Amino acid sequence: MIAAAANAAEVPSNLVVENVPEFPPELVERVKPYLDFRTAAFAGWHPTREEMLIRTRFGEATQLHSVKMPGGDRRQLTFFDDTVSGGSYRPGDPNTILFSKDIGGNEFFQIYRYDVPTGAITLLTDGKSRNTGGTWSRDGKLVAFTSTRRTGRDSDIWTMDPMNPASARMVLQVEGGGWGATDFSRDNKSLLVAQYISAGESNLFLVDLATGDKTQLTRKGSAPVAFSGAGFSADDSQIFFTSDDANEFKQLRRMRLADRTQKTLTSTKWDVDGFTLSEDRSKLAYTINEDGASTITILDLKSGKDLAAPKLPLGTVGAMQWHRRRDLLGFSLTHAHSPTDAYSWDLGSGKLQRWTDSETGGLNPERNVAPQLVRTKSFDGTPISAFVYRPDAKRFAGKRPVIISIHGGPEGQSQPTFLGRTNFWINELGVVVVYPNVRGSEGYGKTFMTLDNGFKREDSVRDIGAILDWIAADPQLDANRVGIYGGSYGGYMVLAGMTHFADRLKAGIDIVGISDFLTFLENTSSYRRDLRRVEYGDEREPKMKEHLKKISPLTNASKIRDPLFVIAGYNDPRVPYTEGEQVVKTVRANNVPVWFLMAKDEGHGFAKRKNQDYQLLAMTMFWQKHLLE
């Protein structure tokens, strides 16, 4: 696979490659160990045994596996060419698993049933619409999900007995693509449903499954409020959720359904990221995002007291779930010295166990550097921060070149995680990689998250200038050798940064990024369009249309004078590949060196191993030629 990619004449037929030179064999050999790392994400517990369902990759794409004990063998269950994006056992039924999968990254997910004894797989959805979610009723008789099958745009709420696909029925007709079910009542008569409008605004509803009537539970105020993660109490008299109502940060709350009175259960100076309720609803585990890193707290809902919780390294936690029959909390954890792996916390014994130990290509993960958190102020005094990964100063003397990596979202957040392939640039090329959290990033309060909205979009681009100022002031960094790269919204930031700071940047890599807001909003999938208008602005309003056109990188492409590498996925439903094609054509007309890579079997970012390998080698070649030389 990699050997074939080493020769430009043998580029895989699924890739469109322009101006990418041949990969020297010695580079391929140096990079190879960094390509061979693996991750293993916790997906759920077996209903009766202490056994985990995980997602990991042994071939081209991530599949479902089972692990029977900490450190046990991983037994592969699914074998598709495309990534399996989710999986869970039917409550109380060890023989049935539901999972979802798309084709070629098109994100038109379908839901499937997997029969554990036979390995038989049954398609449960229509095979054409986009179907997401998969919220089980507590007795396992029903699963709730969203589907666009009615209009192709609106994410209606459906329920189904997964043992009888013909039982699928729409229980709530909605407008828009931001809906999802979060929990069933104990008697299966009611369903909690969330409406996502933007990262800073959402609503919670209670839906009567017999009539389809919905009741809004969250207040209707003038200021946007974010709500998420709603779940019923044991007797269905209360619900738990997170909200930033009357607070800068999302807190854990409880609402009594009888009178809608609320009580705030946390008082953190950071966001409560998410939570999970135990099967008997007596305990609740939640994570707090402390400057990008995760901590776990376990709350006894009867006494209101905190219980013993695991102490974790500086990293991030995801996918928490309690075992149905035991006081075991499962979750995923990643940090600088470890790829994502599955863990459990035994509440009774206080024992933290690592269930998977993902391979790192034979490399010692302790070689990877832990990030330094730095803070600075932007052009208007707004404080911003960044995680900085510095190479070993003993191996790499002198001022080091820098790559600025911008996250997507735009309300994403750079966090202290395992960098995977990027570790090659740090450990072997001696590059400093900087991951800033510019204004608009989540995790720093709802005011900070809105500072780039609408007509303030380019203020976040100006934050890149503050990062460049910080780089120039650090004597260990070479301000004359700074590159920039990012994906999705981060790709837009790359292009915008290259128009604003052409004299301070040497090269940039745009991965599935927006080049023109107007063509993006016109061509993005219809189920996403209104959600994106809330964030970027509504182009149907004349002043906003004029503004979006004015700030689009394509409009300002004549200012891009530094080498550019554009990467796209042909099946991308979010940022169509045409966004990349049009900026490539325009910048090349300025006689600027432009490389282009597109995978015909990928969507919003590369998910398949062979494509990821080729991408890393091509990006490394690009940095060597245009940043390091």
CA angle 268, 274, 275 (to 5 degrees): 100
Distance CA(354)–CA(326), nearest Å, equals 17
Angle at Cα 528 formed by Cα 526 and Cα 533, nearest 5°? 105
**Are residue 344 and residue 367 in the same domain, yes or no?**
no
Nearest to 24 by CA among 54, 43, 41, 3: 3
Residues 6+ apart with CB under 8 A from 321: 42, 44, 45, 276, 329, 330, 331
Shared domain for 129 and 254, answered yes or no, is yes
Q: Do residues 393 and 489 share a domain?
A: yes
> Based on C-alpha coordinates, what's the Rg of the chain?
24
Amino acid at 205: F
For residues 343 and 432, state if they share a domain.
Answer: no
pLDDT in tens, 174-196: 998 899 999 999 999 999 999 99
Q: Is residue 438 part of a domain?
A: yes
Q: Is the CB of residue 617 less than 8 Å from the CB of residue 23? A: yes
Q: How many domains does the chain have?
A: 2
Task: Give domain status of residue 24, yes or no.
Answer: yes
Residue-wise pLDDT for 435-473, tens only, equals 999 999 999 999 999 999 989 999 999 999 999 999 999
The pLDDT value recorded for residue 7 is 42
Give the predicted TM-score (pTM) of the model: 0.94
Domain of 468 in residue numbering reads as: 2-35+362-628
CATH number, domain with residue 409: 3.40.50.1820
- Strand pairing category for 143-147 and 156-161: antiparallel
- Integer angstrom CA distances of residue 305 from 266, 270, 329, 419: 11, 20, 18, 36
| Within-domain flag for 538 | yes
DSSP string covering 162-229: TTEEEEEEEEE--SSS-EEEEEE-TTSSEEEEEEEEETTEEEEEEEETTT--EEE-S---SS---EEE
Confidence band (pLDDT; 50, 70, 90) for 153?
A: very high
Domain endpoint, select from 315, 332, 354: 354
The pLDDT tens digits of the residues spanning 68-123 come to 999 999 999 999 999 999 899 999 999 999 999 999 999 999 999 999 999 999 99
Position 8 scores a pLDDT of: 40
The C-alpha angle 504, 505, 507, rounded to 5 degrees, equals: 165
Does residue 9 belong to any structural domain of this protein? yes
Domain edge (last residue) among 354, 386, 404: 354
Say if residue 331 is in the same domain as residue 401.
Answer: no
Pair (139, 20) in one structural domain: no
| DSSP per residue, 418-470 | --GGGHHHHHTT--EEEEEE-TT-TTS-HHHHTTTSGGGHHHHHHHHHHHHHH
Rounded distance between C-alpha atoms, residue 14 and residue 46, angstroms: 38
Average pLDDT over residues 574-582: 97
Predicted confidence at residue 534, as pLDDT, reads: 86
**How confident is the model at residue 531, as a pLDDT?**
86
Mean pLDDT of 285-300: 97
Structural domain includes residue 90: no
Helix (H) or strand (E) holding 330: strand 328-335
Residue 132 sits in a domain whose CATH number is 2.120.10.30
Stretch 263-287: mean pLDDT: 96
Q: Which among 303, 333, 354 is the end of a domain?
A: 354
Residue 131's nearest CA partner among 164, 98, 155 is 155
- For 146-158, give one letter per residue: b (16+ CB within 10 A) or e: bbbbeeebbbbbb
The tokens of 629 are what?
A: 């030389």
The answer, yes or no, to whether the previous bond of 410 is cis (omega within 30 of 0) is: yes
